[in-house]
Structure 1
Amino acid sequence: MSALDRPVWASLQHQPQWGYGDERARRFRADINRFAATPDESAASLRALAELVQPGEDAVFLAQVPSIVVPPGLEAVKEALGVQMVARRLLPLEDDGLRVLGDADAADMLALATLTEPGPFLARTHTMGRFIGVRIEGRLAAMAGERMRFPGHVEVSGVCTHPDFRGQGLARRLSAAVTADLQRRGEQPFLHAWVTNAAAISLYKSLGFEVRATVNIAVLKRRPA
């Protein structure tokens, strides 16, 4: 099985400082991201995953190629399908006018992600990798960056554009720039999109990404007592 089949698990194994758990189940820290994962669907792994989810509003996201099994004590409050795509064409490195984003931009990045919902994005998600963006008249108009990573692979993620600045090709420009930079560093870029998001899939295909697999996605919470 490829590490791409369980990218969350592979990422948490590669950089354990981002999360907590053990060899049966792990999840990201609450300020980093909401993803959790197991190495398999054994009873021991599922029990360990359930133990990582607290009662109340706590929720974890699962994303993997194998079918998702909901652990006893948890329930799926959302289930959907996505596609996993990998870059198959070398892109030129063109980043004129783009700026690297960091801690000083964190509040604006969180506000933009909260508005546009590109996927789970929390206060410290931007520390998972290099993020770049475009500011127009001081406002963060669009951004894109890196999320999950494991040897030889880095995920392109957090691609979003403020509604006031859509239609200017910013998402394409930023996605291409992140992808090209990863390729320059010798990494294999990959990404995820909802299977229903035809516009995003078409954009990524135009940049040389190809669909590798369908990904099962679920949001799990503790079942009410």
Structure 2
Amino acid sequence: MEPLDRPVWASLTSVHAELALGDALARCYRPDINRFASARDDGAEALAALARLVRPAEPVFVLQVPEICIPPGLAAAKTARGVQMVAAGDITPEAGPETVLLLDDGDAEEMLALATLTEPGPFLRHTHRMGRFVGVRIDGRLAAMAGERFRFPGYTEVSGVCTHPDFRGRGLARRLSRQVAAGIAARGDTAFLHAWKSNTAAIRLYESLGFRLRCEVNVAVLRRDAGVD
């Protein structure tokens, strides 16, 4: 199976192994990093290992191309369909009036606040440590950001793209997405990303940047089943 078919597993067992909890059958990100988890495969042992990683009141997100098998003891709080897109060629930065800044731990509180407001996907206090994040400040405020999420040999995901409502309509998401994708290409990786299948506006934006549809993906939020310890 292609690593892109199970990008969470590919990431947790390679570049992000130091951010992972679990074993050779199933892994998840540390609870301060992200909520994604993955089984190695859909076998009974791997699914049981995945279930053991899910704590009460702490659901996990599963994202993969194959249909998601729900392990015994877990239940799906939400399921959805998304798309996976891959850069078809080099994507170059785009100039603009605002300076693009590299974000770090000193920006963590503002990054979390912006992601909580705009909901680009699961984003926790240390999610920014998954990769390189850039942003734009306007009048001292973090107006927009974009960064990297899943990473494994040859590929890095563009993620966390969001703009504060006060600063939309300026093309910031487009500029920052290009900036992140260009940085990924500069180190020899191929950029990829995910979007909800229903988010046609985002899909059109990414197509205009040079991303092409690879496939649809399955997404599920899994929690411990009621009555199961």
Which bracket does the TM-score occupy, shorter chain normalised? over 0.9
Rounded to whole Å, the distance in 1 between the matches of 2:55 and 2:132 is 31
Contact in 2 for aligned 1:143/1:171 (Cα 8 Å): yes
Rounded to whole Å, the distance in 2 between the matches of 1:136 and 1:33 is 28
User: How large is the Cα RMSD of the aligned pairs?
Assistant: 0.9
Which residue does 2:206 correspond to in 1?
204
Which residue does 2:78 correspond to in 1?
78
Q: What do the CA deviations read for 1:119-174 (whole angstroms, capped 9, x no partner)?
A: 00000000111100000001000000001100010000000000010010000000
Residue segments in structure 1 that go unaligned for 5+ positions in a row: none
| Counterpart amino acid of residue 92 in structure 1 | T
Where 1:212 maps in the other structure, the secondary structure is: strand
| Counterpart amino acid of residue 171 in structure 1 | A
Structure 1 position 185, deviation (Å): 1.1
Which residue does 1:130 correspond to in 2?
132
Rounded to whole Å, the distance in 2 between the matches of 1:42 and 1:71 is 10
Percentage of pairs with the same residue:
62
Once the two structures are overlaid, the 10-residue window that deviates more, 59-68 or 84-93, is 84-93
Which residue does 2:88 correspond to in 1?
88
Where 1:221 maps in the other structure, the secondary structure is: strand
The count of aligned residue pairs is 224
Where 2:13 maps in the other structure, the secondary structure is: helix
Structure 1 position 65, deviation (Å): 0.1
Which residue does 1:214 correspond to in 2?
216
Residue among 174, 177, 190 paired with 2:176: 174
After TM superposition, the score normalised by the length of structure 2 is 0.96
Q: Report 1:86-165 matches (<5 A).
A: 86-94=86-94, 97-165=99-167
Rounded to whole Å, the distance in 2 between the matches of 1:126 and 1:103 is 8
Rounded to whole Å, the distance in 2 between the matches of 1:50 and 1:187 is 32
Which residue does 1:44 correspond to in 2?
45
Structure 1 position 198, deviation (Å): 0.4
Rounded to whole Å, the distance in 2 between the matches of 1:93 and 1:203 is 15
Rounded to whole Å, the distance in 2 between the matches of 1:94 and 1:166 is 17
Rounded to whole Å, the distance in 1 between the matches of 2:156 and 2:54 is 26
Where 1:72 maps in the other structure, the secondary structure is: coil
Structure 1 position 89, deviation (Å): 2.4
Rounded to whole Å, the distance in 2 between the matches of 1:105 and 1:89 is 31
Which residue does 2:35 correspond to in 1?
34
Rounded to whole Å, the distance in 2 between the matches of 1:175 and 1:93 is 9
Where 1:31 maps in the other structure, the secondary structure is: coil
Where 1:158 maps in the other structure, the secondary structure is: strand
Residue segments in structure 2 that go unaligned for 5+ positions in a row: none
Q: What do the CA deviations read for 1:67-98 (whole angstroms, capped 9, x no partner)?
A: 00000000000000000000012122346710
Where 1:205 maps in the other structure, the secondary structure is: helix
Contact in 1 for aligned 2:93/2:175 (Cα 8 Å): no
After TM superposition, the score normalised by the length of structure 1 is 0.98
Contact in 2 for aligned 1:95/1:177 (Cα 8 Å): no
Where 1:196 maps in the other structure, the secondary structure is: coil
